[in-house]
Every structure is written in structure tokens, then in C-alpha cells.
Amino acid sequence: MGQVTYSQEMKATPDKIWAIISDVTRLPDWAYTEGRFPYPTKGEYGGEQHAGVGTLWVGTSADGQKATQKITVWEVNKLLAYELQAAENAPLAMTQSNSFTLEPTAQGTKITWQVDWALTGGWSLNSIMMRFTANGSFEEIMEGSLAKLKHVAES
């Protein structure tokens, strides 16, 4: 199992950042697109509920993978957390949880993104490589995505 944490300070209020990260349809606006892994090209709700614990998010990536996430913590302007429920067409089976913590600062907001992950499938060459490289890959995605989020939130 791995855990990766990355933080970024932004010159934007927690409510402005919250409005972006808590709306799954905005995911393509700030998702990192330069990395080695498929990036989200579409975000949609998996039901009628669009806010709060239990909300389902469905993300579709550039290569057609679909991932369903379930909101597990919803503290407006403070903390958003979700867990992977299902992944269609994914090359490896894994569990994954993400949390975004927003802390007001004198200049705006510090956002901290934490990912906890574990592979759940059997052993293969891909799974062995993932165990050695995943933390670095997550860090790259997190750093790039938060840089894009900063640009979106500050404009």
C-alpha cells in the first residue's frame, strides 16, 4: 500500500477552491494532462445527488477508462474525501482514497491532497512495476493537477 501527500498554496479563498473541486464536471478543467497515465476528459454525477456524503462521481479518461468514486467526507470549504468504487477497463485492480484539505492562509488557501492506494489483483509484471513506481506517478499527477487548479482558482 502507498500513500502520497502534496500541498499547494493558492491566492484564492477556500470557497472558490471548494466550488471547483466539489463539482465533478469541473474535473477536466484542472486535471493534469501531461503525464504517463490517462487523464480525465469528462466528469459526471452517477445519480441525482450532486452534493454531500454518498454522492457518486464518474470520471472518464482519455483512453476510455471509467472510474466511479463515492464521496465519504463533505465538509464545505474544509475537507472533501472520496473512495474508488469501481474502475472499468483499468489495467490493474486497486483500492484508492483521496482527500483534499483546505486551510485558510493570510494570502488565500493551502490545499493538501492525500492519496492512499493498494493493488488488489494478483501478481503480474505490470503490478510489480506499479508497486515500485506508483508513488512517483501519483506525485506527478498531484503536483500537475494542483498547479492547474491554482491557475483556474486564481484567474
CATH number at residue 57: 3.30.530.20
As a whole number of Å, the CA-based R_g of the chain is 15
Q: Give the pLDDT of the chain (155 residues) as one tens digit per residue.
A: 688 899 999 999 999 999 999 999 999 999 988 866 778 899 999 999 999 999 999 999 988 889 999 999 999 999 999 998 967 665 566 678 999 999 999 999 999 999 997 767 766 656 555 555 555 677 888 899 999 999 999 99
Domain region containing 127: 2-154
pTM of the complete model: 0.86
How far apart CA 90 and CA 128 sit, in angstroms, is 16
Overall domain count for the chain: 1
For residue 84, the model assigns a pLDDT of 86
pLDDT value of residue 133: 56
